[in-house]
Amino acid sequence: MFYFINEYLLAKNSSVEHAAIDRVRLFNQFHQPAKIVTKTYDRLLHGTVTAIKLPDEQILNMFDFFQQTTSVESRFVRTDDLKLPVEYAVTVGADFSEVTNGDNLVSKVGFIPGTIGRVYYQEFLDNQGNPLSTDLWDWRGFKSSTQYFGQNGKLIMQRYYNLAGQTVLEEYYVADVKGNPLLSRVILRNYQHQSERFFQNRDDLFNFFIAELSRLDSTTTTFISDRPGTGVQPLLRLNDDSHKYVNVPIYHAKDINEPLHSPLDGYLQPAFDNLTHFDGVITATNKQAQHLQRRFPNGHVMVMPNVTTTARSQAPLRPITERKNQLLYVGRLAPDRQLEQLIRVVALVKKDINNVRCDLYGYGDAKYVDQLKKLVADLQLEKQVRLCGYQPDLSGVYDNYQILLNTALANGGPMAMQEAMAHGLPVISYQFNYGPADFIDDGVTGYVIKPGDQLTMSKRILELQASPQKLTAFSEAAYAQLHDHQTATKVWHRWQRALGL
């Protein structure tokens, strides 16, 4: 079994999670059992994986594992299903219902966001309106845990249940120096014929969970840590014959200009301090692999694409000149992506193409997004620039655009760059580590621009927009590059060779 270790899968995911999702689909497509492992307690997880069309058997959450709820048929639970006392009155609201006994508010029943009345929690109150406890309901329609609160309203304990309502996990909290709940002990109850197992925190529980996955696997177990902050430590503590790999999805050094000598990212440092413990290190770009191999000559570094395609015959290219929208950005909306510069590039292009259109897809901090919106307004680009939010699947979006732009400071190999090229979008990007020089054939499938050179980027955009023939040639070259070299079969063969499958 292959396990890809992640922190979570959310409604809005980064390229780390998207890469893991694509990889687990690839492995299972070629009949190699694989699962994404997640650590975070998330009652919405199975609603999320249903929305992204990922089968339940390809996801394994730590809490589901210990609660024995990895595979549960979902049902829609409403307030009426809670079997409230007949003398209670229920007042239904948009986000929650209030439950009263005479004049006393005794409970609130909250709904899962985006649903009409699907139960998410039931809060119980004392006669002064203070919280006593809260039952937390899973998206699939069962009571998953209960939180208990002290006299000050702070969390003091949480219990987790199996489907029979038996307690399988307990967490105890104390107040930290600021008076906020601090997890002090975790108790795993009646697991594998042992009444109690004690852990200091969830990290220790996760270490035990990863070890159990290896112990219970009758075949050879292989772990790939996708999020260094989540997966490195439990794998360092795992001393058995399982195979262990560290994926490097980020720029590995603290100084973006010193990949060979700058201190490493804090989460990656323990892995590179103990390279002999791991079977290999995985990265998405040749350049990062070269830098890591030079820095750690005794390490085994391999390059594995995050993006796979189909054969050309299975995904015909939509002619670039038929696409109504010109410019596209896909990724996080964050300061290190320098999107202010991207927006200013659009302002420069507008001087020659008044109806130019640039759409930005992604999510980010609300304060930064507001800054971008203000800049768009200040530059009078409301008709030219749109912030379109996050979409989990952009496969149908790429075919409506002509050019992908990227103005980032650094990256671990942006997935969007190759996804766009697979749909025939040339890429115009600042040069940075890592991605542009690896993915873009400068002057053939796009352009690599000196960092910060907004004028040159705008000129390259205008150059392609002015010549349908050149734009078409770039589009066809980008499309061919991905569909000739990164089909699912070819990428799978690379995995087979690398892992000895």
Residues 6+ apart with CB under 8 A from 374: none
pLDDT for position 293: 97
pLDDT in tens, 370-410: 999 999 999 999 999 999 999 999 999 999 999 999 999 99
CA distance 452 to 429: 10
Q: Nearest 5°: phi and psi at 257?
A: -100, 0
CB atoms inside a 10 Å sphere around CB 67: 23
Domain formed by 312-485, architecture:
3-Layer(aba) Sandwich (3.40)
Instruction: Give Cα separations from 103 to 36, 82, 86, 93, 443 (angstroms).
Output: 49, 21, 15, 18, 74
Tokens of 464: 């392609």
In Å, how far are 25, 36, 125, 228, 492 from 283, measured between CA atoms?
A: 19, 18, 51, 13, 15
Amino acid 423: pLDDT: 97
The alpha carbons of the chain give a radius of gyration, in whole angstroms, of 26
Give the tens place of pLDDT for each residue, 183-224: 999 999 999 999 999 999 999 999 999 999 999 999 999 999
Sign of CA dihedral 239, 244, 247, 253: positive
Q: Is the pLDDT of residue 313 over 90?
A: no
Give pLDDT, residue 71: 94
Q: How many degrees, rounded to 5, is the angle at CA 186 between CA 185 and CA 187? A: 120
Tell me yes or no: is domain 2-71+203-303 CATH 3.40.50.2000.
yes
Q: Residue 427, class by beta-carbon neighbours within 10 Å (0-12 exposed, 13-18 middle, 19+ buried)?
A: buried
How many percent of the chain have pLDDT more than 90? Answer: 97
- Our CA angle for 153, 155, 157, nearest 5°, is 135
Instruction: Give the mean model confidence (pLDDT) for residues 262-268.
Output: 96
Q: Taking the chain, what is the end-to-end CA distance rounded to the nearest angstrom?
A: 12
Instruction: Reply yes or no on whether the pLDDT at 132 is more than 90.
Output: yes
- The model's pLDDT over 320-371, given as tens digits with 9 standing for 90+, comes to 999 999 999 999 999 999 999 999 999 999 999 999 999 999 999 999 999 9
Instruction: Please name every residue paired with 5 in a beta bridge, in sequence order, or none if there are none.
Output: 37, 225
Confidence of residue 56 (pLDDT cuts 50, 70, 90): very high
Torsion of CA 490, 496, 499, 500, to 10 degrees: -150
For residue range 431-462, what is the model confidence (pLDDT) as tens digits? 999 999 999 999 999 999 999 999 999 999 99
Q: The tokens of 427 are what? A: 């890429």
Looking up tokens 């966001």, which residue turns up?
A: 113
Phi-psi region of 102 (alpha: psi -120 to 50; beta: other; left: phi over 0): left
How would you label 317-342 residue by residue, b for 16+ Cβ within 10 Å and e otherwise? Answer: beebeebeebbbbbbbbbeebbbbbb
Confidence (pLDDT) at 435: 95
Run of H or E residues at 23: helix 15-29
Alpha-carbon separation of residue 193 from 168, 182, 196, 197, 332 (angstroms): 12, 29, 9, 11, 46
Task: Indicate if the pLDDT at residue 309 is higher than 90.
Answer: yes
Q: Which part of the chain is CATH 3.40.50.2000?
A: 2-71+203-303, 312-485
76-108 residue pLDDT tens? 999 999 999 999 999 999 999 999 999 999 999
